[in-house]
Amino acid sequence: MTSQVNPPQKYGATLSARVAHGAAWIMGAGVVARLIGAVNTIIIARLLAPEDFGIVATATITMQLLQGVSDIGVSQAVVKFRDAGRDDLNTLFTFSFLRGLAIGAALIAAAPLAARFYGDPRLAWAFAGTALVPVLLGALNPRFYEFEREMRFSREFIITIVNRLAGVGVSLAIAIIFRTYWAIIGGMLASALVQTTLSYALRPHAPAFSMKSFRKLIGFSGWLGGVSFMAALNNKLDVPILSRLIGQGGAGAYFLGFQLSEMVAGQIATPLTRALYPGLAEMQGDAARMRQAFLRGVEALGAFAMPAAFGLAFVASDFTGVILGGKWTGAAPVIAWLAPVVGLQALFVATQSYAVALGMTRLVFFRECAFFIIRTPVFIWAVLAHGLMGGVVAAAGTGLLHVALNLALYARAGRARFWEPLWAARRPLGAVAAMAAWFLLVRPGVGAVEGLAPPLRLGADIAAGGVIYCVSLYTLWQAERRPAGIEQAARAALASLAARVIRK
């Protein structure tokens, strides 16, 4: 016992620091990329019509459905199989490249059918243009994901920013000159091309076609492919259904509203989850430490991602009017209903990574199957009976079901009590409740704020919500006698930053 190189406490601390460092890199890339993307989305939304977004959304989501159907989890496989050699990488490249070609061919074949089904000839061209994206991404360098396995996310920062800048540049140029939905497709193609090129420039590798590691990888990738297939059905069918039943305009409003709802919470949740998965995979032999690391991640997600999503919901009306313009008022109720649910789901976004790291991918697959069986008929009925708002309410209600399924998945995978993640996020949940009480009960009666011009009212509401949340979170932390947690880490980080500023 005394010869152990990495004692559990020291090892855990080191891993926590690496996860935090990796999350910081991914979050930094995400912040910059999403700021660039947000500016791009706002400008494009003002230049194009909701119908243009609906057309591209239908083609893009069809592509994403096909990608989900055939996803083999290249990055997850490279991270999980820490001894992956050349044969493994070549097999993953072969799978990925053939998959990209197959998806591209399927989209081209479906183009005329989509135009006839939706009664809009523009969809044929949108499908054909979008078909090139999976072909380009299918050629990504699998060795690039070794950076993720090693938790060296600085390279991802580079590739994320450069490919986003390329996509935005092309998108804006086309939109300004031609005012066509091809602006969005052109940006996607430019981004995919740059991403694939940089994956080889930053991690040189000459892949070859091979299937030598087929048996080794199929057991892991097979179930993961099933998970991706069901997740794609759950996440991507809404827009095609809405396009068919209520038209491209309503589908475009739903698409942009849902995209913005996910963007806010995802900006924080995605980096932390991406950084957490390699750490969880590294602790595969120690279930107790894995569970503790996961619960710390839930606490962090609750402290940052959840209030951001709820805050967006409370200012949805002014946000859409001021930022997007009057023609996007239909997106406001989408954000108001879906953003809070996305915020709650953000608490458990790492549950899948936790189960996959434990080798329980099959449980994740069954979770997605159960969700699909319940959600899809409810959503279709709601749209048929009540139009766009029926679909929005159905999506919000069934989103809460997904939260329950994630709690059940955690309990089964970790052999733990289902309520532990909620307890880990108890203080953030309480602070969000205080913020909700302000906006729902007090704020409507504050005439001084209500009488402001929309841009000033939006700024005042954002500031008030942020202050109420932070003060409530700090008060709850003090009430618990300042236990170790995200508040303590944030306080230490602020103190360190202040010390650096004073020294300068």
**What distance in Å separates the CA atoms of residue 392 and residue 378, rounded to the nearest whole number?**
11
**What distance in Å separates the CA atoms of residue 119 and residue 58, rounded to the nearest whole number?**
13
- Phi/psi for 118 (5° steps) reads -95, -5
Below-50 pLDDT ranges, the chain: 1-13
How many Å separate Cα 68 from the centre of its chain? 14
> Contact, 130 vs 185, CB < 8 A?
yes
358: helix, strand or coil? coil
> Contact, 96 vs 76, CB < 8 A?
no
Write the DSSP string, 288-351: HHHHHHHHHHHHHHHHHHHHHHHHHHHTHHHHIIIII-GGGTTHHHHHHHHHHHHHHHHTTTTH
**What distance in Å separates the CA atoms of residue 284 and residue 263, rounded to the nearest whole number?**
31
Q: What is the pLDDT of residues 243-275, one digit of tens each?
A: 899 988 898 899 889 988 887 777 667 766 766
AA identity, residue 337: W
pLDDT exceeding 70 applies to what percent of the chain? 86
AA identity, residue 25: W
> Contact, 263 vs 331, CB < 8 A?
no
Q: What per-residue confidence (pLDDT) applies to 7?
A: 38
**What distance in Å separates the CA atoms of residue 349 and residue 294, rounded to the nearest whole number?**
11
Which CA distances in Å does 493 have to 319, 447, 466? 31, 38, 19
Which CA distances in Å does 312 have to 28, 178, 263, 447? 21, 32, 10, 21
Look at residues 249, 185, 241 and name the one whose alpha carbon lies nearest to residue 51.
249
Which CA distances in Å does 461 have to 315, 389, 452? 7, 25, 11
Write the DSSP string, 206-237: ------TTHHHHHHHHHHHHHHHHHHHHHHHS
480: helix, strand or coil? coil
**What distance in Å separates the CA atoms of residue 85 and residue 90, rounded to the nearest whole number?**
9
Write the DSSP string, 440-463: IIIGGG-HHHHTS-HHHHHHHHHH
Q: What per-residue confidence (pLDDT) applies to 80?
A: 64
Q: What per-residue confidence (pLDDT) applies to 470?
A: 95
* Count of positions (residues) in the chain: 504
Q: What per-residue confidence (pLDDT) applies to 72?
A: 66
Name every residue whose Cβ is closer than 8 Å to that of residue 409 and which is 6 or more positions away in sequence.
351, 352, 355, 363, 364, 367
Look at residues 152, 135, 167, 140 and name the one whose alpha carbon lies nearest to residue 44.
167
Q: What per-residue confidence (pLDDT) applies to 6?
A: 39
Q: What is the pLDDT of residues 298-307, one digit of tens each?
A: 998 899 889 9
Angle formed by the axes of helices 214-236 and 86-118, nearest 10°: 30
Q: What per-residue confidence (pLDDT) applies to 324?
A: 83
Q: Is the torsion defined by CA of 277, 278, 279, 284 positive or negative? A: positive
Q: What per-residue confidence (pLDDT) applies to 495?
A: 77
How many Å separate Cα 277 from the centre of its chain? 14
Where exactly are the structural domains of the chain?
Answer: 14-236
Q: What per-residue confidence (pLDDT) applies to 105?
A: 97
Burial of 49 (0-12, 13-18, 19+ CB in 10 A): middle
Look at residues 401, 405, 418, 438 and name the one whose alpha carbon lies nearest to residue 310.
438
Q: What per-residue confidence (pLDDT) applies to 430?
A: 97
- Helix-then-strand count for the chain, H and E: 22, 0
Q: What is the DSSP-derived secondary structure letter of residue 484?
A: S
> Contact, 187 vs 167, CB < 8 A?
yes
Q: What per-residue confidence (pLDDT) applies to 267?
A: 67
131: helix, strand or coil? coil
Look at residues 377, 316, 306, 311 and name the one whose alpha carbon lies nearest to residue 342.
306
Q: What global pTM score does this model have?
A: 0.73
Q: What per-residue confidence (pLDDT) applies to 10?
A: 40
